Amino acid sequence: MSQTENTLDHVEVQLGSVAAYTVGYVLSILLSGLAFGLVYTHALPRPVMFGALCGIAFALILLQMFLFLGLNLNPGHRWKTAATVFTLPILILMIVLTIWMFYTLQLRVMPH
Amino acid sequence: MAFDQTATPRLFEERTPDLIGNRTFGFWLYMLSDVIIYAALFAAFSVLHTHYAGGPTSQQVVEPLHGFIDSVLLFSSVWLLGLGMRSMAVGERAMLIAFMGLAAIVALGFVGFESYDFAHALGKGESPQRSGYLSIYFVLLGLHALHIFVGILWMLLMMVQVAFKGLTEPVVSRLLNLKIFWMFQSVIWVCVFVFVYLLGAVG
């Protein structure tokens, strides 16, 4: 039985709290509801809408990374955060360079 | 402050193997590679999302309300699993099993609703072969739905293990990996919801 108690004392087991999950849940529903409402009511002109939706997506991702996945800089979790931060440049390179490459390809090879 | 001669230098401290720490960190790295697979698909989506080839446009295919209902279902499932994990942290096995069961049922609703949308689209002739846009639409959403389906099977398996094996170190490390897996799927869904459903509806 003592093994179970030691196991449950582990820093990974104790990560997160009911409050963090509940706040994360409520804010996720509210922000995605806001994004849906903007699209459903056609509240904004197209370029502004694009910026607003990207902003909401960014906020939602950060919110869930901190409140659901529990990213932090405590010694027990530092390496998870470091690995995640070092993955970001790869993600940005993959997506942004692909968009850029195909955009300029379109400009260079398609007849205007 | 006096020098404490009894203190061992940290470098030579004997370390006990940290099973839970090693397994969750390894699984975390695995999930980051999973995120890179999704990033490749989103890169493809960013190129193909206007390639309709005379077929249906994104406004005709996606239903933003359905995306929002899916979001509410998935976030609810994540929240329920989070509550289950807190029950685990205080050793409440019955509550953990109950919350995992609820999370699995809600996630099943998510997969069911998405499958209904897929079947509806296929019924209208909007198959993956129709255009570049529909190919990436089905691959991206299909891969996410497959992840959710695997997560549901994983939850059922863990409910059995918690009931019969109890909260032993290997079982707890699997539960923590399940949590990491589930919460990463929620973050990925945010991108699917905003970029495929909402921006698809804006056009």
Q: In a structure prediction context, what are the per-residue pLDDT tens digits for chain B, which is 203 residues long?
A: 455 555 555 665 666 778 899 999 999 999 999 999 999 999 999 999 989 999 899 999 999 999 999 999 999 999 999 999 999 999 999 999 999 999 999 999 999 999 999 999 999 999 999 999 999 999 999 999 999 999 999 999 999 999 999 999 999 999 999 999 999 999 999 999 999 999 999 98
Q: A46-67 and B169-191 helices cross at what angle (nearest 10)? A: 170
CA pair distance B176, B186, nearest whole angstrom: 16
Percent of chain A topping pLDDT 90: 64
The confidence score (pLDDT) of residue B15 equals 66
Name residue, tokens 């990213």: A71
The confidence score (pLDDT) of residue A2 equals 47
Confirm or reject contact between A52 and chain B (CB < 8 A): no
Which tokens go with A60?
């939602």
pLDDT digits (tens, 9 = 90+) for A9-47: 898 898 999 999 999 999 999 999 999 999 999 989 989
Write down how long chain A is: 112
Residue A3 banded pLDDT, cuts 50, 70, 90 = low
Chain B residues within an 8 Å CB radius of A4: 91, 166-168
Q: A112 CA to chain B: closest CA distance, Å?
A: 18
The CB-side HSE value for B94 (13 A sphere, CA atoms) comes to 0
Considering CB atoms only, which of B40, B75, B187 is closest to A61? B187
The confidence score (pLDDT) of residue A4 equals 63
Report domain B67-202's class: mainly alpha
Chain B (82-101) residues lying within 8 Å, Cβ to Cβ, of chain A: 82-83, 85-86, 88-91
Domain residue extents for chain A: 17-69
Chain B residues within an 8 Å CB radius of A60: 190, 194
The confidence score (pLDDT) of residue A57 equals 96
Question: Residue A15 — φ and ψ, nearest 5°?
Answer: -70, 140
When comparing pLDDT for A42 and A5, which is higher? A42
When comparing pLDDT for A79 and B98, which is higher? B98
Percent of chain A topping pLDDT 70: 95
Is A6:B16 a contact under the CB 8 Å cutoff?
A: no
